[in-house]
Chains A and B, each alone.
Chain A
Amino acid sequence: MELTSLLISMGSMGGLGVLFSTGLSIANKKLHVEEDPRIAKVEDALPGANCGGCGYPGCKSFAENVVKGNVEITDCTVASQDAIQEIADIMGVEAGTSEPKVARVMCRGGAYETAKKAEYAGAESCLAVNLAGGGEKLCEYGCLGYGDCVDACPFDAMYMDENGLPVIIEDLCNGCGNCAEACPRDVIEIHPVSHKLFVLCKNHDDPKTSRQLCTRACIGCQICVRAVEEGQMEMDDNLAVINYETYGDQAELPTDRCPTDCLVVFNGEEEEAEEHTVAEQAA
């Protein structure tokens, strides 16, 4: 009895499966849509990370738009130069070059540096914290420290350090911008790798307030602005801003003049080493 019901089950379901699959394969033939064969080739050449950094929903969609000519191949920040060359060959156009981009965390106010206003015990997400009054830190501009950006990274190029700040592993970062989008406070910015000098602070409070909120805040002292040539840096509402267009060779870097250490030069290895000393000092 058991055996027959088993056979009947298998037979009936198998039969239905065959019936439907036949129907579907016939439908597939009848309803086949002619697609430009280049779309599939371009898609194969793309990294396939579906990170959305180019502004399209995925690599497939980007490939379609490349073939249509709506978009430059180099708009894919993730593709290597070889991949871009391969796509250019498929499309029969000049490859062009794009400067690699990388994400930068524009805040150094971790758990040790910032003043606290309250204990937060809610959902561990920057988005939730931002809605619920801004979490523990008093600074209204800085990193919230709950790692929404790390979760958003499709390349595992970020981690949270002991100090509660996101660290970007430059070798893995492709500058897709998902982390910048995930940050409710816009602390993360996407920069070309040629940008080396950064003011790692977003605080626009007056000097007295910002000094109280965070030991690593830009306090608007203007020392750096005066140290460089006219127009290379400017003050924007108590925050020093670097004008990358006029900040040409970046030979004279006034980093050691910054009293709060928020003016920083990024050179891959140094950054890593520095992060550790920060944590050690604080501990």
Chain B
Amino acid sequence: MNLILIFISAAIVNNFVLSYFLGICPFVGVSKQLSSAVSMGMAVTFVMTIAAAVTWLIYHLILVPFQVVILEYVAFILVIASLVQLVEMFIRKVSKPLYDTLGIYLPLITTNCAILGLALFATLREYGFIESVVYGVGAGAGFTLALVMMAGIREQLELADVPKHFQGAGITMIVAGSLALAFMGFAGLLSV
């Protein structure tokens, strides 16, 4: 039961993008096309899930026993950077077109604050191993959800008659703001 709550909390109620405002760069950058948004969401979900597991292991098996918790940022960044490298190689091998579509945003997952945020939140809330992983999956699902919603709206917007001064970045910001506002409706429902 607790695990389900953690998942829903990370995915919807405390959505990383729309209520914590983490990982805004790919949220705006890769949300032009629904298909690439889904792939980006998958890549981030993968990195988040593995990162949550690996950072938990490192935190509890290395940092805490050796009393070097102060190094958690360094260790977590190391994990995330390596994982992103791995994902990048994997995507390049499996699908070159997808690799080209994601472009610079793929290596930029390395510096995506949503992933470091996830690792730090998970340790802060003293989650167990399973809980951490579920939290990672949930956060990834939430990220994908936000990205897919944004991409869907932006695809429709391509056909819409947007007033001249709102075109481009302006309307994107307004849409992002409205989405965040909608997600604020969930605020306080869960505090897991």
Contacts and interface: CB of A to CB of B under 8 A. Distances in A.
Interface of A: 5, 8-9, 12-13, 16-17, 20-21, 23-24, 27-28, 31-33, 57, 131
Contact of B93 (A12, A21, A31): A31
Contacts of B93: 31-33
B181 interface: no
Majority secondary structure of chain B interface residues (helix, strand, loop or mixed): helix
Given A16-B78, A20-B79, A9 B71 contact: yes
A131 B168 CA distance: 12
Nearest to B79: A20
A17 B90 CA distance: 20
Interface of B: 58, 62-63, 66-68, 71, 74-75, 78-79, 82, 85-86, 89-90, 92-93, 96, 103, 165
B82 A20 contact: yes
A255 B189 CA distance: 75
**Residue of A16, A17, A21, A131 ringed by the most chain B CB atoms within 10 A:** A16
**Does more than half of chain A's interface fall in helix, strand or loop, or is it mixed?**
helix
15 contacts: A8-B67, A13-B74, A13-B75, A16-B75, A16-B78, A17-B78, A20-B82, A21-B82, A23-B86, A27-B86, A27-B90, A28-B89, A31-B89, A32-B93, A57-B103
A26 to B, nearest CB: 10
B64 to A, nearest CB: 11
B86 A13 contact: no
A27 B85 CA distance: 9
A57 B86 CA distance: 23
